Structure 1
């Protein structure tokens, strides 16, 4: 079953084989989202992706950060929000090199506006421009 497919701006088509989703602020019991807590969240997502797939390269698509005009202004600085869903996905495509590889793979971590997987290239800024040829790893079955 195909979860979704993304057409990169390079013309390469990549296929999402596995995905793990969670809410961005699900564990936040006190305070408000700010630059410091969001920096931690982004680095935690990158680290979780690397631990989940230790033998495959990981790339983080930098999330869009928004500062609501009517946001909280407290001792932690101004409120800053990330998209509400964070994801770690295993993508595959045809090989990058010309050797004996059967396919290429890359783990991608990103934030998105909702749980839908269709239209990822449009809903996740920076995903379509993913430099697959530079980042992905060729693999054999």
Structure 2
């Protein structure tokens, strides 16, 4: 189990993690602004995770003009500390583009990108 403490102090747990190649399905042509925008628009929660609230961290505008970072990451996080006390917990799927994993651990990859996420603004409450 991977636990991460966000900058806000909230502790979240990783329930799922997916790694893929940004241009893995691009069979011909060269990345450009239109291709990159289509790739961004198609990002969603993996179907095996069910219906979840998703936050796509947008790449830099300059990356849209040329090449997006080569890897795409998706992480399903949950917290037993709900945003609204009526519920039992909260969760969020976060999607972002970044460099290839290299020698980094899964925890390091996730933690680097999600620590600054405003959980209270982006997550969704759930009831067990």
TM range (shorter): 0.7 to 0.9
Residue aligning to 1:9: 7
The gaps in structure 2 that reach 5 residues or longer are: none
Deviation (angstroms), 1:40: 0.8
After superposing on structure 2, the runs of 4+ consecutive aligned residues of structure 1 that deviate more than 4 Å are 50-54
Partner of 2:33: 35
Q: Which runs of 5+ in 1 are unaligned?
A: 68-77
Cα separation, 2, equivalents of 1:62 and 1:6: 22
Aligned length: 123
CA drift of 1:23 comes to 0.6
Post-superposition Cα deviations, 1:46-105, rounded to whole Å, max 9, x if no partner, equal xx32866553211111124656xxxxxxxxxx9612121112221101211222x22211
Superposed CA deviations along residues 89-140 of structure 1, whole A, max 9, x for unmatched, are 21101211222x2221111111221244222332x3xx32211112212222
Would you say the 8 A contact 2:74–2:94 is kept in 1? yes
TM-score using structure 1 length: 0.72
The structure whose Rg is larger is 1
Of the candidates 74, 79, 91, which is equivalent to residue 105 of structure 1? 91
- The question of 1:80 aligning with 2:66 is answered yes
Secondary structure class of the residue paired with 2:106: coil
RMSD: 2.5
1:19 Cα deviation from its structure 2 partner: 1.7
- Structure with greater helix percent: 2
